[in-house]
A and B are shown apart, each in its own frame.
Chain A
Amino acid sequence: MNNYVKQKRLDLEMTQSDLAKKIGVSRQTIYAIETKKYDPSVTLALKIAVTFSTNVEDLFALEKVDWD
């Protein structure tokens, strides 16, 4: 899954720690999401979207490999 969390976070001038604190996860989890090591749950994806005042679809996008 492709994601634009890092870009969006930097656009909003937030640190990984800021985002982690707002959505109640560790900085390690934000790092893992941004480096595409981990696809978050629906709950966490929605929390990130709400924090960024955007839609989940603007942050996460399926790749061809996700359909295989």
Chain B
Amino acid sequence: MPNFTYIVMKYLLLPKHFRTAGWFLLIPGLLAGFSNYIFNTEPEFLNVTMFAIANAGFYQTTYFTLIETNIWQELISLMIIMGGIFIGFSRTDIEDEYIQKIRLEALTWAVYVNYLILILAIIFLYGFTFTDVLVFNMFTILLIFVARFEWVLVNLNRETDNE
């Protein structure tokens, strides 16, 4: 029977080259996200008609309808989420059971930190500031995970090179 390491590598992780693609999605996605948050500008050519399963307005919610919208924020969100997943869940150059342990620890760490931030926001932030935190919270779990995972890998490589 194949062991856990083999199953993760073979069936649960993405191929190695997805990691590079992930950085090409995540970095521009983050830059565009901050730019959009600070300057609140959206390229006009991204005004398109989209199919919506649900669209809540001020007075009513419509279902299964076509809507006119700018998809800049949707593109940014997809770039950050897909970039984070590609980086965090692709095979590394040195993938083995120890790297999988580091990945699992980073993921556990990210869940704790993410929900600690959310708990503090629930208690101390109100109004639109809390809504902002909820928006950021869509991405923080992945971003903390990727940051922690990469940080530990870089330190490990440095330590090993110094050995």
A positions within 8 Å CB-CB of B: 16, 24-29, 31-33, 38, 40-41, 43-44
Contacts and interface: CB of A to CB of B under 8 A. Distances in A.
Interface stretch (B53-61, B76-84, B91-99): B91-99
A43 B96 CA distance: 12
B99 A41 contact: no
Contacts of B69: none
A26 B3 contact: no
Contacts of A43: 3, 5
Given A16-B163, A28-B99, A28-B157, 16 more contacts: A25-B98, A26-B95, A26-B98, A27-B94, A27-B160, A29-B99, A31-B159, A31-B163, A32-B98, A32-B156, A40-B97, A40-B98, A41-B3, A41-B4, A41-B97, A43-B5
A11 B157 CA distance: 25
Interface string B68-80: 0000000000000
A29 B159 CA distance: 12
Q: Main secondary structure on chain B at its contact with chain A? A: helix
Contacts of A44: 97
A43 to B, nearest CB: 5
Interface of B: 3-5, 94-99, 101, 156-157, 159-160, 163
A27 B99 CA distance: 11
A24 B3 CA distance: 14
Contact of B160 (A24, A31, A38, A40): A31
A29 B163 contact: no
Given A41-B3, A41-B5, A43-B3, A28 B160 contact: yes
29 contacts: A16-B163, A25-B96, A25-B97, A25-B98, A26-B94, A26-B96, A27-B94, A27-B160, A28-B94, A28-B99, A28-B156, A28-B157, A28-B160, A29-B94, A29-B97, A29-B99, A31-B159, A31-B163, A32-B156, A33-B98, A38-B98, A38-B101, A40-B97, A40-B98, A41-B3, A41-B4, A41-B5, A41-B97, A43-B3
